[in-house]
A and B are shown apart, each in its own frame.
Chain A
Amino acid sequence: MNLFSRGIRNAFRNVIRTSSIIIILALSIGLSIAMLAAKQAVQDKIATVKQSVGNTVNISPAGFRGFEGGGTALTSDQLAKVSKVSHVISVTQMLSDRLDSNTTNLQSAIEAGQLGQRFGPGSSDTQPQLPTTDSSSSSPGTGTNTITRSFTPPVTITGTNNLSTTAAFNGNSAKITSGATINASSDENVALVGKALAEKNNLSVGSTFTAYNTTITVKGIYDTGTTFGNGGVVVPLATLQRLSSQSGAVTSATATIDSLDNLATATTAIKSALGSDADVSNSQDVASQTVEPLESVKKISVFSLVGAVAAGAVIILLTMMMIVRERKREIGVMKAIGASNAKIMGQFIVEALTLTILGLLVGTLVGIAAASPITKTLVTNSTTSSQSQQFGGGPMGAPGSNAGSRPVGGPAFRSIQQTSRQTLQNISASVGGSTLALGAGLAMLIAILGSAVPAYIISTIKPAEAMRSE
């Protein structure tokens, strides 16, 4: 029989009261643990997204809106300056062009579709009608020729000096499914052709096609897993610059920085090197924009955590104050028979701890059960509301250009936004060891905060209380 066993035993003097307090406490502790887990899950997710985005800086001509027009192409000279910026490891340069029936014998793998017909830029006067007559007549209800304009979807040709980035493949990662890759720094008339385009035009490794009145040899077929990605042609940068008579022109570039830490500095340096000729943004900006809803979920979870801990502390505080008041005379008696303040406080703190630990045990179960649903609900609610605003972008990989949203990035970044958005909601919170340890620490904090005032009250109770008869 000592201070500890007395404290624990006293916690059960009033079983009904003790049970109700434990239940209330368990709810607040459970919420704390769930919020800790939510915060951890969201934090991990943010880190993963930022990590996966990598340390690249996207450079595009100022005012450029893909094939919608705008801007003047960048030059290789300008990009040479970028290469000299410190921390820049490499600069991937890209030139994109569109091949239509005037410039190639290739047929697009992409059907224009009803919307394509309506929005497509072509007109029957200027464009020869190749397969489009088929598709327009085969779709009933589209009306007459006056409404349905003939439009042949063009074939995108991309010149790049680096095939290892996703940018060349419309922002997707690509696999060579047959043949071999090409030497991106060469000037040969060779190409990688998307799987869909190859099928449409019966191309295989070794076949040739015509573009810009030049015969180009297919060296490999690639697969990106998306129809748009598989509809393109990829050639060495120098080749496309020569064939399309755009010597030294570049429509987008991606600089890779040595480390994430230097990304911001390098971005600023690149901006000042290029001046107003280029729009410069880094991948982390895009990532930050993407994970913005997660940041707010993190904030919500931190606020809720603090709130839940405070609520727990208040519950213990009020309970202990009630108990101390109730046992005022008993405390006086203990003092009269020789107990020090410290001994009595110790006993009551053990009592508070007993209630808290039981609350923690039950609360842990509550927290484990609630962590994932709460996290999912928070994340889903906050990401769906911002998704529609961020989504968008012109055809063929133009930057996200919805009214009001900042124009960021090219094809590569669009894919980052897309994939990270998809993975954002794929989040689950689990209550791990560290979360539990932290939860237990918080519970102890609750007990100590909640015991402080009662302990003070104990110290002010006079031993003469023992003399009072009721």
Chain B
Amino acid sequence: MLQVNNLSKVFRSEGGSVTAVDDISFSVDDGEFASIVGTSGSGKSTLLALLGALDSPTNGDIIIDDRTITGLRDRQLVDYRRKTIGFVFQNYNLVPNLSAVENVMLPMEYAHVPASERRKRAKKLLEQVGITDEKLQRKPGRLSGGEQQRVSIARALANKPKLILADEPTGNLDSENGTMIFDLLHKLARSEHTTILVVTHDLDIAGRTDRTFKLKDGKLQKK
């Protein structure tokens, strides 16, 4: 479902240029749960940003379900981020003055889901990740890190994306919470038949995924 051909990203600045992603090609199957590992600065986050159309590549193509993402117009890119991708960030990135439910409803509003459906679906998703009752109305500042990450997983699933991109989702959590979040992602991906690409430096976690890609200096290392 995901195919990447000769993808490169070069950051240019006064001090020279950095090739963060260097001529990468790979593909991921439908419903697959894959992980990306690599040392700090190896280009994992950059690759994820390119896949989620948060940034544009210097070279190469990204093809999802036979649709080439690279070269799309701005408006189509917004639509792609909205409907095809669900993002989970290392530092949760919830909107601070919105409650848990409102955070999960936000992507649905952007995708023009009818208002009445939004709240229902948001509550259902939050229930699936274990956020219930009065925690639904809490703002991120009053939730624990693990709880915030669970809300952010619910938010990523809001518009039933085909591909979930998670950048070190357990990076800020202790191992117990990390394992719980990971299991949750795994379970939901299975039940919703969603493809997942998760960046991690936890080799235990990587070992439990269907496939692991290893990045070094922006290059993909064949195992």
Contacts and interface: CB of A to CB of B under 8 A. Distances in A.
Nearest to A344: B110
Contact of A467 (B79, B105, B167): B167
A333 B55 contact: no
A337 B95 CA distance: 11
Contacts, number: 74
B55 A464 contact: yes
A9 B106 CA distance: 15
B83 interface: yes
17 contacts: A1-B105, A2-B115, A13-B97, A333-B93, A336-B52, A336-B54, A336-B81, A336-B87, A337-B82, A337-B87, A337-B107, A338-B79, A338-B82, A343-B110, A466-B89, A467-B45, A469-B91
A416 to B, nearest CB: 65
A421 B48 CA distance: 79
Contacts of A81: none
Contacts of A453: none
Given A337-B155, A467-B89, 7 more contacts: A330-B96, A334-B106, A336-B87, A338-B81, A338-B107, A343-B110, A464-B55
User: What are the 5 A-B residue pairs with the smallest beta carbon separation, nearest first?
Assistant: A338-B82, A338-B110, A463-B54, A464-B54, A464-B55
Interface in B43-86: 45, 48-49, 52-55, 75, 78-79, 81-83
Interface string B95-118: 111100010011101110001000
Given A334-B95, A336-B81, A338-B159, A2 B89 contact: no
Given A330-B95, A340-B75, A467-B89, A2 B109 contact: yes
Contacts of A10: 97
Contacts of A1: 98, 102, 105, 109
A298 B86 CA distance: 60
B132 interface: no
B19 interface: no
Nearest to A339: B110
Contact of A338 (B48, B83, B96): B83
Q: Which of A2, A10, A464 has the most CB of B within 10 A?
A: A464
Interface size class of B (residues with CB under 8 A): 20 to 34
Q: Which of B109, B111, B115, B155 has the most CB of A within 10 A?
A: B109
A464 B49 contact: yes
Interface in A420-469: 462-464, 466-467, 469
A335 interface: yes
Given A338-B82, A338-B83, A338-B110, A466 B105 contact: no
Contacts of B54: 332, 335-336, 462-464, 466-467
Interface size class of A (residues with CB under 8 A): 20 to 34
A334 B52 CA distance: 13
Contact of B81 (A330, A335, A343, A467): A335
Given A334-B95, A464-B54, A469 B90 contact: yes
Contact of A462 (B55, B75, B87, B93): B55
B179 to A, nearest CB: 22
Contact of B87 (A9, A340, A466, A469): A466
Nearest to A465: B54
A329 interface: yes
A467 B78 contact: no
B45 A337 contact: no
Contacts of B115: 2
A323 to B, nearest CB: 12
Contacts of B109: 1-3
A339 B54 CA distance: 12
Interface in A1-51: 1-3, 6, 9-10, 13
Q: Which of A9, A10, A333, A467 has the most CB of B within 10 A?
A: A467
Contacts of A470: 91
Contacts of B159: 338
B101 to A, nearest CB: 8
A30 to B, nearest CB: 30
B160 to A, nearest CB: 13
Contacts of B49: 464, 467
Contacts of A462: 54-55
B98 A340 contact: no
A329 B93 contact: yes
Nearest to B172: A469
Contacts of A13: 97
Contacts of B75: 340
Given A1-B102, A464-B54, A338 B78 contact: yes
Contacts of A335: 54, 78, 81
Contacts of A338: 78-79, 81-83, 107, 110-111, 159
Contacts of B111: 338
B110 A6 contact: no
B22 to A, nearest CB: 18
Contacts of B81: 335-338, 463
